[in-house]
Amino acid sequence: VPGPLAYLNGEFLPRSSATLSVEDRGFVFGDGVYEVWRVLGGQPFELDAHLARLKFGLGELRITPPDIAESDMFSNVAKRLLGASSLETGEATIYLEITRGAAPRTHQFPLTPTRPTVFAVANRFEPPEPLRARGARAITMPDVRWLRCDIKTIQLLPNVLAKQTAVEQGATEAIFIRDGVVTEGSHTNLFGVERGVIRTHPANNLILGGVTRSVVIDIARSLGIEVDETPIAGDRIGGLDEAFLVGTTTDVMPLVRVDEHTVGSGAPGPIAKQLQLALRERLDAIGGERRSPATIAS
C-alpha cells in the first residue's frame, strides 16, 4: 500500500516527504493561486470550470500555466492521487496550488524565469449534512481584503482571521461587508432570498466568482427562480426570507442566524432546500452514485 501521496513538481511523493524551498515565492510573497475540486466516485466536479479559473488567475499573475492546467494532465494526476489514498469511490477533494517558484527574494519577478511550483493532494471529504439539516450561523465582519478578490490567490490571511473569529463565536462562516453591502463569505458566496427572488453580489473584482456559485445560479434559473446579481445591503440581512452559503465544499448551506438576527423562520428555507437537492443530483450524476434522499436533507 503506497499511502497518501503528494504531487510536487512532476513527482509523486509520500506526503510527509514533500517539501519546498524556503525561497518559494508562495512562502515569501504569497505569489500563487490555487483551486479546490469536489470529487465524487473519482471524478472531479466541474473540472474544466476550475481549470479555466486557474488559468485566469495564472494569467493575472503572469505565471506561465504549467502542464497540470491542462485537462488531460490534471486528470491523470488526480487519478493517481485519488488511487493512492483509495478515494476512487465516495467523496473527496483535490487541492492544487501553483506559485511562481523559488528564487532569491526580490519583489519583482525573478530575472531568470523560474519553474512554477506545482503542488497537489487529495483528501477524503465528508459533506456537512447534519449542519445542513439544522442550518448554520454566520457573523458579519468588515471586508478588509484587497481589491482583486476575483483572483483565487493564496493571499488568504484576512479570510483566515475572519473564519477564526466566526468559529470562536460558534458560527460557521464570516460574511464580509464592504461599503455597506454584503460581498461574500470568507470561503463561500452568500445568496439571499427576498419575495422569491435570489440576490447575490455580482461577479466583479470584489468577490471570487465561485464555480458552485455559477452552478447554483444556473440551477435556480432552470427551476424558474429569478436571480438578481445586485448586492444585498448589510443592514437588510436580518430581513431576508432566506440566506444561504454556496461553495465547493459547502454546496448550499442554509443560514438560520446571522449575527443577532434570525433568518426567516429560523429553519432552512424552501429555496435553499430545493437548490441543494438539485445540486446534489448534479454531484451524484458525475460520480455515478445514488444517495437516498434521507442523507440529502432530513
- The residue (of 138 and 193) whose beta carbon lies closer to a second copy is 138
Secondary structure in 3-state letters for 137-203: EEEEEECCCCCCCCCCECCCHHHHHHHHHHHHCCCCEEEEEECCEEEEECCCEEEEEECCEEEECCC
CB of 165 to a second copy, least distance (A): 9
- The residue (of 26 and 269) whose beta carbon lies closer to a second copy is 26
- The residue (of 117 and 276) whose beta carbon lies closer to a second copy is 117
| Placement of cell 444556473 in the chain | 218
Q: Which of 55, 152, 163, 273 is catalytic?
A: 152
Binding site for a second copy (CB under 8 A): 6, 8, 15, 18-22, 24-31, 34, 61-62, 95, 97, 99, 104-105, 107-109, 119, 121, 123, 142, 144-148, 153-161, 163-164, 166-167, 186-187
CB of 146 to a second copy, least distance (A): 5
114: Cβ–Cβ under 8 A, 6 or more apart, which residues? Answer: 25, 100, 101, 102, 103
Active site residue 152: yes
CB of 176 to a second copy, least distance (A): 11
Cβ–Cβ under 8 Å, residues 25 and 138: no
Q: Which DSSP helix (H) or strand (E) runs through 243?
A: strand 242-247
CB of 129 to a second copy, least distance (A): 19
- The residue (of 74 and 119) whose beta carbon lies closer to a second copy is 119
- Which residue numbers are catalytic? 152
